Every structure is written in C-alpha cells, then in structure tokens.
Chain A
C-alpha cells in the first residue's frame, strides 16, 4: 500500500482510470453475457419445444400401442427433419419408465431403464449443461389426462456455448483495448499536467546541493493559471534567497577584511614592539661594538628580534596568501594561531592556553580550518574580559578533528545559538554575523559547530571536522 502511495501521479491516475475501466468492462460484459445466455436459452427452449411438439403428436399412437419399431422409425426420420435443433439423442419411455425406443438403440436398448438426467430438468424447459455441452429436455406424453410415456431429448449445445465463448473473448479483447487506450491517454494527459510540478520539484531538489535557481521566464505559463502563480511565487522566493546569500557573501568578505585590518594593526604592533629593542641594540653596537661580549649580546638580541618579526610576517602570509594551496593541517598551524592572536591577548593581557597536539599531517584543508579556528579564537578573545582566560583544546582521532575553544567571558549573546543552527537571521551585531560565516565555513568542510557553556564561565564552541580517511589530499602526496 505504501508502495502504491509512493508511485508518481503520472502512474497512479492512469492506473486508477484502468481499474475503473476494467470495473465498468466487467459489469457491462457480465450484463451482456447474462442477457445473451437468457436469449440463447430461450431460443433453445423454443427449438426444443417445436421438436418435442412434432414428435409427441406422431408418437402418441405408437407409444400407446407399445410399438418400438414405429417409435424408432419416427425418431429416425425426425433426425433429418429437425437438423436445426441438433438433437444428439432422443429416448422414448413407456408409462413404466422403460425405454421403448431411442435414436441410439445400442446405448439405450429396448426395455432398459431410463438413463439419468440432471436432477433439475423440468418438463418442456431446455436445461443447458455447460460441462457436457448439452441441453436436456423432457416431455410427458398423455392421452385423456393419463400419462402413457415420455420423451427425453439431449440437444447439442456446443454451438451456442461456442458463440457465448466467442462473445466473451470479443468483449474481453475490446475491453482490454479500450482500457489500455484510456490508461495511455490518462498517462499522457497526467504527464502533461504534472510536468510543471515535477519541474518545480527538480528545482527545489537542486537547491539542497547548490544555489537556488529561478525558473526561466520562457517556461513560466500564463500567470492567470495556478502553475503560473506557483512558479512566480517560487521565483520570488529564489530571488530572495539569492539576495540573502549575496549579502552574506559580501558580509563575509567584509568580515575577513575587518579581521585583516585588526591583524594588520596587531602585526604592526608586533613588529613595532621589538623595534625599540633592536634600535637599542644597534645603538649599543655603535657605541660598544668593539667589546666582544657586548657585540655578541647585541647581535643575539638583533637576531631574536628579527626572527620574531620574520615569524609574524610568515604567519600572516600563510593566513592571507590569496593564491593559497590546499595542504594538510599540521601542528605548526595550531602554533601559528598563538602568534596570530598574540596582539589581542597581549592587548587584553589574556592567558591563552593551547592544549593538545595533532600528529603528522591531517587530511583536511588547512587554510580553511585555520581561518575557522582563528575566527572562533578571536571571538573568544574579544568576549573574554581584561586579564581573562582563553583555552583551545585540539585532538584528532582517525576519522575527525575536534577543536574546543572556551573563554571566561559572559557567554554567547541570546539567539547566537539559533543563528548557528540557521533558525535566526544574523543581525548587524558582528558577533552574530561572524558566527554565521564561521558556521558556513565549517559546513563547507563537512563539519559541525556546537555552542554551549564552558566551565571557564563563558561560551564553549566545539568545531568537529571529518578527516578524509584513507584519502590523502593532493598536497600531501606532492610534499611526500
């Protein structure tokens, strides 16, 4: 039943039409056949009556005299006279029920007892036995109200049964043809009717895997029709969704640029901090460069400072390089995050705790994941109070990579969780928009983003990303 319900309309409706046609055909055929049967049996009865009438009038005398030869002679001649009745065998019985004579004396010899006839053979009515293809009838011979004998006749009913069969098969064939044609017409009509719905269905299905495409204008029928209105409504919806996506993309780009701005200023600060020390070391070299110990110390200082500047520049390049390549995630990427958020942690004197390690290369897009973790970490730093705590824990098993970012801030604003799960539209509040964009990036990686309460007091965001198990990324092979 469930399978029938699951059938498309284009099949279901022609099927219904066919079932109805079959039902109508069965009822109509039954009526025709039973009417035919009644007519045939009346004709057979009339013929049999005529035959029995003719026989009884000439048989009365010889039956009264008990003359088997004359009875036989009359039956024998009647066979030729009543060929149209097709009597197969006729038996004349005397008043004691014994055979006086029969058309086939060998089967029914003189003096033998009457053969069995179907129990429901009534006088003067032909009874058709379909199995034997015979009709039976009986006529009582009476003189002056006294029964002197009877005539039993078996008539060949094969022709009328053959005719009945022929009519039956003709009805069957014509009904089958009509039903088939009706079902085919139904199928074609319904297919035409449901085509727009199917097109709408196809478009809706495509939106699950990609952008929402409106239905081309040439394919939209007259807006006065139901389908026309439906298509227009769908297109309006598709445009609204498209605009929202475009808006989100623009917002994501702005968010990226904004965080770049923050990072740039942070980086400038990162570079600026050691610069004073470096210039001091240069001055020291200029003045006391001739003293070996002082020179060595100053050069060491210079080297450390320049290395720090190099690390900052390199990490920033790795994060924002526009022509980035797909490569696997390494522990170094996690370490880079500390450098990237250092301006924030330094500014707010936050304690950043990085726990856990990943071993070797993880087959996941490192750039995308770094961006995700950076965004969440920056959010946490922003949420944590001055001198607060931020903790990131990373772990990987064979199938997935899990990162948990917690802070001691006030927790996520109301509605942020629903923004994450798609239940609420993001507002102008940056946190909301940032979270939403992060959530989309995680979704691009095939992962999930969960938000709940941290034991540190603030929010806890758990990022889970599946690893392409047994399917190393191209970059890994290249590096290897």
Chain B
C-alpha cells in the first residue's frame, strides 16, 4: 500500500528492478529479495540505495527490493510478519522480538561491531552530563531506537527518572539526522543520537553538526544488526544475503557501498551479543 503513497523513490527503485528483470529473465519474480531499511543510517542517499541494490542483486543472484519506512516500528512489523526477507533494524526491536527474529550479520564500524549513543546539545552550552539537561526540550530519534531513545531512557531509569518527567518536553524526529537538525536549529535544547550517524554526518555534513556538541558518549553498544524472520533463518535467500554481506569488503561494488556507509564490513555474532540492550530494556520496563 505504501507503494502508492510514496511513489518517487520507491517507484524509481522498483522500475530499475523491473528493468533488471527484463535483462535477466532467468531469475524468477518470486525469488525477489525484499530487504528493509530503517532510518538507522543515511536513508536519504539515493546513490547509496542504488549501489546497495545493485551489489546485493549481483552478489545474491536475486532481484532485490529495498523497502524503507518512516519509523522503525513499521519495518519491524513487516519483518516480524514475514513480509520482508531481511531488514537492517535497530538492536532494540531485535531484542524486543528476539524470539521471532534471527541475526543475519552485524556491521563492523571502526574495527568492531559496536557503536555508542551520544547526548548532544547546542555548541558552547557546556553541559557535562545528562543531569545538566534536566527540563530541556529533548529530541529523540525514535521510540524503538536503542541509541536514539533506549540508552538515554535506561540512564534515566538508573536514576529512577523517566524521560517525560525529567525533560521539560520530548519530541521524536524519526531520524538521527533530524535529531541533529533539531538541536542545531535550537528547536530542541538537547538530543539523543546514534554516535555512528553523528560521526558520519561530521564528515559528510560538517555544517549541520557544527552548531552542536557531544555532552556525553555512552558505553559501547552492539551495532544495529541485519535480521531476518526466525522462519527464514536457514533459507537459501538468507544464506545468499549473509554471504553477500560477508563478501562485501572483497568486492569493488561492495567496498564502494561500505565506503559510503563508512563501515568496514560485516561479522557473525552470537545471539547473546545483544544482552546489554536487553538489560537496558528491562530496566526501563521495570520502571513502568
């Protein structure tokens, strides 16, 4: 249904996929690999989406359909219900639905499958910890985001505080980039943002990041993973996708995609890898 609502980017991608299917009639339509993307990374980069699709199609031998949605919740719902073959989601919904989802691979950034959550505020304000941000208008990325919500909420839970009461007002921007925009413009006094996205933005859009500063970086957390419905865990398409992801650094097109994402590659991690997120989730849930 979303196809009709947001035809621009999706239409282009699907049109390209259709053109590819004409060029390669051997691949069956039913073999299409539906791959979901959350706004966890720079979702607005059309070139990136194009290259990623091309690489995945070549590497898996499947037609690839990239599916994007505004919120994490929408992608998670599609993934859990089996509408998607796999999706790059956040660690928080992965843990929340871990009985129904399986890990495909975890991205490796700066040598490790880990990242941080940043608390940011306006440059020059000089806040040193979360306690300095009490009463702020605070921008979160997404209620289902680990770095853009859960980490901050868990830190407050450890102090028996809830975001709605600790901050003067909270708002969700549904993208890490928008958290930076909200803080940079002054709409929000502070924000919770994905440290990986923030660092990449610092490179590609320094003017956007400049009016902000990091209040504190969290401990290292498990990087948002590529997950698939538990039922597809051992399917050929999942294996093909995992293989394609693992081989990415060795392939020119794959390397180009990784470079755009500022990632080193992908790693296989055990399910227990996401235990810290589970603990955070539990602490927030306990507070009710």
Contacts and interface: CB of A to CB of B under 8 A. Distances in A.
Whether both chains belong to one complex is answered with yes
Contact of B173 (A69, A104, A106): A69
Interface string A88-104: 00000000000001001
7 contacts: A67-B171, A73-B178, A73-B181, A105-B187, A109-B186, A110-B137, A111-B137
Contact of B186 (A69, A73, A104): A104
Given A69-B139, A69-B172, A106 B182 contact: no
Contacts of B178: 69, 73
A101 B187 contact: yes
Nearest to B187: A105
B128 to A, nearest CB: 22
Interface in A316-371: none
Interface in B127-144: 137, 139
B69 to A, nearest CB: 16
Given A101-B187, A104-B186, A105-B187, A69 B137 contact: no
A385 interface: no
Contacts of A111: 137, 168-169
A317 to B, nearest CB: 124
Interface string A60-79: 00000001110011001000
A447 B173 CA distance: 114
B169 A69 contact: no
B185 A105 contact: yes
A72 B182 contact: yes
A109 B188 CA distance: 8
A67 B171 CA distance: 7
A110 B182 CA distance: 12
Contacts of B172: 69
A99 B202 CA distance: 31
In the complex, the 3 A-B pairs of residues with the closest C-beta atoms, listed nearest first: A106-B186, A105-B187, A105-B186
Contacts of A73: 173, 178, 181
Contacts of B168: 111
Interface residues of A, number: 13
Contacts of B188: 105
A101 B174 CA distance: 17
Q: Do most interface residues of chain B lie in helix, strand or loop, or is the interface mixed? A: mixed
A76 B173 CA distance: 14
A72 B185 contact: yes
Given A69-B171, A69-B182, A104-B186, 4 more contacts: A72-B185, A110-B137, A110-B187, A111-B168
A213 to B, nearest CB: 94
A109 B171 CA distance: 13
Contacts of A106: 186
B165 to A, nearest CB: 15
B94 to A, nearest CB: 25
Interface in A103-133: 104-106, 109-111
Interface string B40-56: 00000000000000000
Contacts of A101: 187
A72 B168 CA distance: 18
Interface in B160-184: 168-169, 171-174, 178, 181-182
A72 B139 CA distance: 12
B171 A76 contact: no
A66 to B, nearest CB: 10
B169 A72 contact: no
A61 B188 CA distance: 21
A297 to B, nearest CB: 149
Interface centre among A69, A73, A110 (most CB of B within 10 A): A69
B182 to A, nearest CB: 6
A175 B137 CA distance: 59
A445 to B, nearest CB: 104
Contacts of B174: 69
Nearest to A103: B185
A106 B187 CA distance: 7
A109 B182 contact: no
A375 to B, nearest CB: 116
Interface string B133-157: 0000101000000000000000000
Contacts of B186: 104-106, 109
Interface in A136-159: none
Contacts of A105: 185-188
Interface centre among B169, B181, B186, B188 (most CB of A within 10 A): B186
Interface in A16-70: 67-69
A61 B139 CA distance: 20
Nearest to A110: B137
Interface string B172-215: 11100010011001111000000000000000000000000000
B84 to A, nearest CB: 26
Interface centre among A67, A73, A104, A111 (most CB of B within 10 A): A73
A69 B172 CA distance: 7
Nearest to B174: A69
A402 B145 CA distance: 131
A76 B139 CA distance: 16
A105 B182 CA distance: 9
A94 to B, nearest CB: 12
B137 A76 contact: no
Contacts of A67: 171
Contacts of B182: 69, 72
B185 A109 contact: no
B173 A109 contact: no
A110 B183 CA distance: 13
Contacts of A109: 137, 186
B191 to A, nearest CB: 10
Interface string B260-287: 0000000000000000000000000000
Contacts of B185: 72, 76, 105
Contacts of B169: 68, 110-111
Nearest to A106: B186
A318 to B, nearest CB: 120
A72 B174 CA distance: 13
Contacts of B137: 68, 109-111
A76 to B, nearest CB: 7
A68 B178 CA distance: 12
Nearest to B140: A69
Nearest to A67: B171
Nearest to A111: B169
A72 B185 CA distance: 10
A109 B172 CA distance: 16
B38 to A, nearest CB: 17
A84 B179 CA distance: 29
Contacts of B139: 69
Contacts of B187: 68-69, 72, 101, 105, 110
A72 B173 CA distance: 10
A13 B169 CA distance: 78
Contacts of B173: 69, 73
Interface centre among B186, B187, B188 (most CB of A within 10 A): B187
